[in-house]
Structure formats: structure tokens, C-alpha cells
Structure 1
Amino acid sequence: MLRPDMTPAHFDTLQGDHLPGRFGLKVTAIEEGRLCGELQVQPWMLAPNGFLHAASVILLADSCAGYATIAHLPAGARNFTTIELKSNFLGTARDGRLHCEAVAEHLGRTTQVWSATVRGADDRKVALFRCTQMILA
């Protein structure tokens, strides 16, 4: 079900100056039922308390799951929209690279469900994320 025209370079071009591009998100791998991405933690991504802002983690996980959805749109679909998302935060990072792996849980004709794990540079889990995407025909 993976569309053959979906490559990391495609997503670099697609995101351009949009929010994921401004955060420096890079897609690092795409395969059937899986997409990986990463971003470098910057000081401006931290909350006033000195820890990584939750929105920065969600941006990475949600973008990876969204890009994975685009890469796995069924024939005849024109787009998608997120109808639910949830995050559990298990840790934080103040610097280094965050890595995300989004894995398909369900690839249906009308919905897709993706789980994503975000890890810090030390490979510790920072967050567990899950979203449901509605496929737009």
C-alpha cells in the first residue's frame, strides 16, 4: 500500500516553509507501514521551565504520522485529516536529536491509525503517541 513516489526528499520539498520545515524535521526512512523522522532540539523549543515543550514533541510525532498517512493513502483518496491524537510523555530532552518512528496499526479505506515513539539522543523514550486519520475521498 506504500506509494512508490514517496521518498524522504519528497517530504523535504512538501514541507518547505511550513511548520515542520521551520522546526527542521527530516524524514529519514519510509517503508511499508513505517516512517521515521528526526529533528534537532533548539533552545527556542524549550518551555520557560527549561524542559522541551510538549508541542515540540507533538510536532515531530504528528508530522511523522501525517507523512506516513500521505505515503499510504489508498487509491482514490485525495487527502486526510486528523480526527484524534493522544500523547503520553515519559521523559524530556534539552538538547540533541529527537528520533521518531511511526508505525501503522490500521490502514483502512476510511481511517488509518498510527502509533509513534519519540526517543531522545540517549535512546530513552520521550513520548508515546497515537493518532487516527480520516481518509478524504
Structure 2
Amino acid sequence: MHLNKKEILEQCAKMCPNTLLETLEISFSEVGEDYLIAKMPVTPKVHQPDGVLHGGAMVALAESVGSAASYIFLNSKDFFIRGIEISANHVKSVKEGYVFAKAEAIHRGRTTQLWSIKIRDEEENLISVIKLTTISLPKNK
């Protein structure tokens, strides 16, 4: 990695203000050599009408952590990262606490990247399994 772990988490935190990440209270909590973890509180703000975590909020969490991981691990100051495909399988409901999304690379190509993102609750129960494809688009100089 080109930055130390503390610097990476600080860089991720700088991406959050005035975005969906701030609205959903998503924060980045851990980084390793090949993964990035973000967490989100499960409150009525992200519930569906029957009081459980909305699947769309989980997908937003997953795309946020996967896109941030692409940006960080590709050292892509010359690229924009965009999600181009996402699929999710929600396997368990959660009503409160926090959920944690761990993005791990399946494929890190120059143009496209494929991420496996598992969302777990505070007891490590699997909540959702998500596959995200991102693309690196060159910034115009």
C-alpha cells in the first residue's frame, strides 16, 4: 500500500461529507493489505417499513466500500472509479446495531475490478453477500 493504514482511513473519511455516505452514517473502520471495511448503524433511518434494514441501504453500503477499495488499492489518483454492476443476496434480517461490509478483491484489472463484499452484523452473522464490478475511467488532465 502506498499509505499507512491510518492515512488510508483518514483519506476515506474525507470522501464522506456531503454525500450519501454521510446521510447513511457510513464510516470506514478497518483496512488491511487486501481488504477495506466500512460500517453503518442500523436505525429507523435505514429501515424498510416493517422495521428491518432496507436491502437498498445494504447495497449502498457495499458499493461505497467497494468503490473506495478500488480507489485506494489501485492508487488511482489519475482515475475516477465508478460502479458498473452490482448484485446482492440478502440472507438475514437485522433491526438494530451496526453492520460491517468487508470488500475483498476477486480481480484487480487496469480497467475493471471485481469485488466480493460480505455484510455481517455485530455477532458476525452473515447478512448479505454482494458482488460489485467497478471501472477505472481516466481523468482528463
For the residue of structure 2 that corresponds to 1:102, the secondary structure is: strand
Q: TM-score scaled by structure 1?
A: 0.91
Query: C-alpha displacement at 1:31, in angstroms?
Result: 2.6
Number of residues of Structure 1 aligned to a counterpart in Structure 2: 136
TM-score w.r.t. the length of structure 2 is 0.88
Name the % identity.
Answer: 23
Alignment of 1:1-137 (within 5 A): 2-4=1-3, 7-73=8-74, 77-137=78-138
Amino acid at match of 2:120: R
Aligned in 2, Cα 1:107/1:47: closer, same or farther, shift over 3 Å?
A: same
For residues 52 and 76 of structure 1, what CA distance do their matches in structure 2 show? 34
Q: Tell me by how many angstroms 1:45 deviates.
A: 1.0
- The alpha carbon displacement at 1:37 in A equals 1.0
CA contact (8 A) 1:8 1:26 kept: no
Which AA in structure 1 matches 2:27? K
Cα displacement (A) at 1:33: 2.2
Instruction: Specify every segment of 5 or more residues in structure 2 that has no aligned partner in the other structure, as ranges.
Output: none
Runs of 4+ in structure 1 off by over 4 angstroms are none
Pairwise CA RMSD: 1.6
CA deviation vs aligned residue, 1:35-54 (integer Å, no higher than 9, x gap): 01111111121111222111
Structure 1 residue runs of 5 or longer lacking an equivalent are: none
Separation in structure 1 between the aligned mates of residue 77 and residue 57 of structure 2, nearest angstrom? 33
